[in-house]
Amino acid sequence: MSTAVSIGNRAVVDEAMLLEYFYKKDPDTSNIAFYLEGFKEGRAREFLRLAKEADDTVIVFFGGITREGKVATLSHTASLAGNYKIQYAALRQSQVIQPHSERELLTCLKVYDVLSHRKNPFGKNVITYGNVVIVSVSGGHGVLASDMLVQYGLHRIDFTKEERAEMKELMNPVAREIASFNNPIDLTGSVLDTDIENIVRYLSDIDRIECIILLLLPYPPNISFQIGRRIANIVSTKRKPVVCFVPYVPKYSLIIESLELAYIPVFHSIKETVQAVSALKHRTRMQNIKKGNIYWEKD
């Protein structure tokens, strides 16, 4: 984060003025996030116009959407919170990203920051349709991630019989007999670093996969602390979007740091990981609409 601004009750500066400044005057800013409890009277239309024409990604998280919240908003900033459904629709039409929670807002900002770097690890590859594959060393974690896909507008791709057979041959002799090569892929606790490398490299060459959700639980005894660097090397070569889940445990810090130094997004809960992939899809949608590229939209 480069800049934070608090505008209080907006007596002098309001949200539309800030959006115009950062969008038009600050070339180093590419993601602009707002926490709002309502628009300043008479300024909503201008804010929506600016958001629609901005090249930057605009994110708005609203407070005061319940009856109790509206009462608190009136006493807090003297804002008149409007009808949330109307606000949501208007912002969506203006290509504004709208997280549904504070945690989701932070997730969006973290993953968008990755794409803002000159060393964007994914190059020109984007998530348009939400077609993903889940790779895990724990079947239960893979199931949990799968349960969240539909809620966040993502789709689990299916493998052909030939693809499953090819992945099986890439595994060590012990793991290949007990691993599951459906989606989610469960590499099991018998996995080696080289198995994860081989599978991620193989999946990176399948065009219909837009993103690999890698649930990297380093509990199996044969996974080394070098696995983060190994995954980073594959991503730097293949440019396939990879979003990782790694538990926030101090002894795994070397793995996390290796991934983050390569600008690969790492999250510490499965929900945040899935939300991040969904956020990338929403960002692609907004950018396509702004450019007039709507061929991919379904009726």
d(CA 185, CA 164): 10
pLDDT at 71: 44
pLDDT at 34: 92
Nearest to 245 by CA among 282, 218, 226: 218
As a whole-number percent, the residues of the chain with pLDDT over 90 amount to: 66
d(CA 227, CA 221): 13
Average pLDDT score over residue span 18-32: 90
> pLDDT, tens digit, for every residue of 211-239?
999 999 878 889 999 999 999 999 999 99
> pLDDT, tens digit, for every residue of 244-271?
999 998 889 999 999 999 999 999 999 9
Domain boundary among 50, 76, 98: 98
Contact 32, 54 (CB under 8 A): yes
Q: Which residues contact 294 (CB under 8 A, 6 or more apart)?
A: 288
Total structural domains in the chain? Answer: 2
227 falls within a domain:
yes
83 falls within a domain:
yes
pLDDT at 299: 41
pLDDT at 295: 59
Statement to judge: residues 142 and 76 lie in one domain:
no
> pLDDT, tens digit, for every residue of 180-192?
999 999 999 999 9
Statement to judge: residues 136 and 248 lie in one domain:
yes
236 falls within a domain:
yes
* pTM for this entry: 0.88
Statement to judge: residues 46 and 149 lie in one domain:
no
pLDDT at 251: 85
**Structural domain span for residue 225:** 131-290
Statement to judge: residues 166 and 244 lie in one domain:
yes
> pLDDT, tens digit, for every residue of 110-124?
999 888 877 799 999
pLDDT at 119: 78
Statement to judge: residues 139 and 81 lie in one domain:
no
Statement to judge: residues 214 and 158 lie in one domain:
yes
As a whole-number percent, the residues of the chain with pLDDT over 70 amount to: 90
Nearest to 98 by CA among 132, 58, 64: 58
pLDDT at 76: 46
Q: What is the CATH number of the domain that holds 138?
A: 3.40.50.261
pLDDT surpassing 70 at residue 38: yes
pLDDT surpassing 60 at residue 297: no
